[in-house]
Amino acid sequence: MEYVIKTDRLTKRFGDFTATNEITFEVEKAEIFGFLGANGAGKTTAMRMLCGLSIPSSGTATVAGFDVYKQTEEIKRNIGYMSQRFSLYEDLTVQENIRFFGGIYGLSNREIKTKGEDLLEQLGLKNEAKKLVASLPLGWKQKLSFSVAVLHQPKIVFLDEPTGGVDPVTRRQFWDLIYEASAKGITVFVTTHYMDEAEYCNRISIMVDGKIEALDTPANLKSQFKASSMDQVFYQLARGAKRSD
Amino acid sequence: MRTIRFLLEKEFRQIFRNKAILLLIIVMPVMQLIILPLAANYEVKNINLSVVDHDHSSYSQKLISKVTASGYFKLTGYNASFKEAMKLIEGDRADLILEIPHGFERNLVRENHQQLFIAVNAINGVKANLGGAYLGSIIRGFNNDIRLQLLPVSKFNGAAVIEISSSNLFNPLMKYKFFMVPGILAILVTMIGGFLSALNIVKEKEFGTIEQINVSPIRKHHFILGKLIPFWVLGNVVFTLGLLVSWLIYGIVPLGNLLVLYLFASVFLLAILGFGLLISTFCDTQQQAMFVMFFFMMIFILMGGLFTSIDSMPDWAKTVSRFNPVSYLIEVMRMVILKGSGLRDILPQLGAVGVFAIVLNAWAVWNYKKSN
């Protein structure tokens, strides 16, 4: 098995608060890995460490074969990232955003043009290409944001609650995009609060108070916790949580 | 290099898309340069004078008309007693009291000696100082007039033995506008550059787009350069507009070389933009950045030598102004525009501002953290 993410007792402390406490796991290539946990469980902190945005306090981890302490810039070249907060430039048009983000990841002008056109085609945004991103509905922004994050064919794409506040139909379309990316060999690392989305993942980890309490396929987790749905699995684990925000 | 091109493309697009800011950048300096020099007047005029005349003689009348005819004073009271005049000062209707004693004319003629009393409301120090000095010199003039009238000029009692003649170099008519316009232009360039750059990176932090930049392989110095260059260009545009306005409205044509002026302004802009970007990397919100920049702007402007001469500041303030990039710009603007100084004359200032530019920008790059 080829692992693209490998962590060993990865920890992040802020003062005397341990946000992420000795988490150890591996993610395989082209896997869709669900990263679940209640608010404040430490998901975003863990994800930020894997993206090279935050330097760990202790433990080790490699992402796409690069060390999260010393090779953060190499990691950044090989990943895509979509944060909780919508992060395209609202005062640029759809096309200008595609051009900018393609450009800073080193795509050639021709690649930007062809890939950008494919992307617009795929999302059905051809007529909106020259509109400001600010004028698009949230669901379209999210899909655009994801497509821009995978434009440069990264090895891994990190999605931090990508479908928050989006209607069920758009969520479904969003997951179609995720499957497509996975089929192209891109590993997807996704956090979510929607348990139906958890079922779409190949494997899931559930974090409680900074620790990973469960990690397996959705089917195995359900039988392990004698639950009929992921909802029940999550309740059983998260009920014991002491912190929330 | 290619990354910088994409960054610049994005920044310029954002600047040109924000029509309100763009208008402000262009219109604000032009309007201010037209209005401010007319108002920021160094000459003290309209000093309210109250006269207490106990003499009621022709000499006292002559003195009063000489004072009012000077154009600096406005006679707001003609009182019978000092007490009454004092009330005018308390009510802020008079700045100066001139008291002419009883027997003024008689003593002057007979005893060749008389005293006048001037009381000055010193709350407004500048007005009090200049008003007192003006009045003093008018009275001296009056004194000379009557001496010439009363006594024939002779070897022994001639009017003044030492006479001073002076000529005003570089600004022969002592027009305060020649002095103020280059200074105000310096301030405008500073404000535009400083505030725009201070707000810029912080804006990306507020909108969350900085995360997307931080998670990309953009190099830190590329990112800072991408922010620096657009504002540097804008700063030069504002500077050019300002020079045009001072030529068209005030007829001020730089005596010195325009290239020297632009060279200095360019280096100065790098320094002040670096300072703005540095603030931007420290702050989390635009509000914070705005107030921090405002704090420094006040110091830069009030201690920059625009309104008050740095040479007359206390030593500690002189030391502080040596770390004030704006003071160098104001100084060089006046040197090159009014005096026609060349590159060699401004080398020390150029060097100082160059050091600011390097240190501040390096600090901004260092303090901008893509990982924490």
Q: What is the DSSP string of A27-39?
A: EETT-EEEEEE-T
CA gyration radius, chain B: 28
**Residue A208, beta-bridge partner list:** A211
Contacting residues of B for A50, CB less than 8 Å apart: none
Q: Is B118 on the interface with A (CB under 8 A)?
A: no
pLDDT for B145 equals 80
Contact map slice: B 353-372 vs A, CB within 8 A: 370-372
Residue B219 gets the label, from left (phi > 0), alpha (psi -120 to 50) or beta, of beta
Query: Does the beta-carbon distance from B14 to A87 stay under 8 Å?
Result: no
ipTM: 0.88
A99–B contact, CB cutoff 8 A: yes
What is the least distance, in Å, from the CA of A79 to any CA of chain B? 8
What are the tens digits of pLDDT across the range A218-232?
899 889 888 888 888
Task: Print the SS3 string covering A109-153.
Answer: HHHHHHHHHHHHHHHCCHHHCCCEHHHCCHHHHHHHHHHHHCCCC
Cα torsion B366, B367, B370, B372 to 10°: value is 120
> Strand, coil or helix: what is B223?
helix
Least CB–CB distance from A81: residue in B3, B215, B371: B215
Among A20-29, B67-76, B269-278, the minimum mean pLDDT is found in B67-76
When pLDDT is averaged across residues B328-353 and rounded to a whole number, the result is: 92
Tens-place pLDDT, residues A134-173 = 999 988 999 999 999 999 999 999 999 998 888 889 999 9
Better-scored residue on pLDDT, A94 or B119: A94
Residue A93 CB: number of other CB atoms within 10 A?
A: 19
Q: How far apart are CA A86 and CA A149, in angstroms?
A: 12
Residue in chain B closest to A51 (alpha carbons) equals B215
Distance from CA of A192 to the nearest CA of B (A): 19
Q: Who wins on pLDDT, B360 or B35?
A: B360
> Is A146 within 8 Å of chain B by CB?
no
In this model, does residue B164 exceed pLDDT 80?
no
Q: Spell out which residues of chain B touch residue A103, defining contact as CB-CB under 8 Å.
A: 2-3, 5-6, 9
Tokens 């990176």: give the residue: B201
Q: Is B62 on the interface with A (CB under 8 A)?
A: no
pLDDT at site B152? 60
Q: What is the pLDDT of residues A173-211, one digit of tens each?
A: 999 999 999 999 999 999 988 888 888 999 999 998 888
The answer to whether A2 contacts chain B (CB < 8 Å) is: no
Instruction: Sort B188 into a burial class: Cβ within 10 Å, 0-12 / 13-18 / 19+.
Output: buried
Mutation target among A48, A104, A158 for the B interface, most CBs of B within 10 A: A104
Q: What is the pLDDT of residue B42?
A: 66
Do the chains contact at B212 and A88, CB–CB below 8 Å? Answer: yes
Q: CATH class for domain A3-78+158-238? A: alpha beta
What residues of B are in contact with residue A81 (Cβ under 8 Å)? 211-212, 215
Report yes or no: B41 and A120 within 8 Å, Cβ to Cβ: no
Residue B160: pLDDT over 70: no
Measured between CA atoms, how close is B342 to chain A, in angstroms?
Answer: 43
Model confidence over B203-214: pLDDT tens digits?
Answer: 999 988 998 999
Q: Does B214 contact A at CB distance below 8 Å? A: yes
Q: Is A81 helix (H, G, I), strand (E, B) or coil?
A: strand
The pTM of the full predicted model, rounded to 2 decimals, is 0.82
Average pLDDT of chain A to the nearest whole number: 90
Closest of A226, A84, A69 to residue A163, by C-alpha: A84
Contact A76 B217 (CB under 8 A): yes
Question: How many Cα atoms within 13 Å fall on the side-chain side of residue B277?
Answer: 31
pLDDT digits (tens, 9 = 90+) for A53-86: 999 999 999 999 999 999 999 999 999 999 877 7
Indicate whether B174 pLDDT > 70. no
- CA–CA separation, B160 and B141 (whole Å): 11
Longest dimension (CA), chain A: 54
B11: nearest Cα among A57, A131, A92, A49: A92
> Mean pLDDT, to the nearest integer, of B173-179?
72
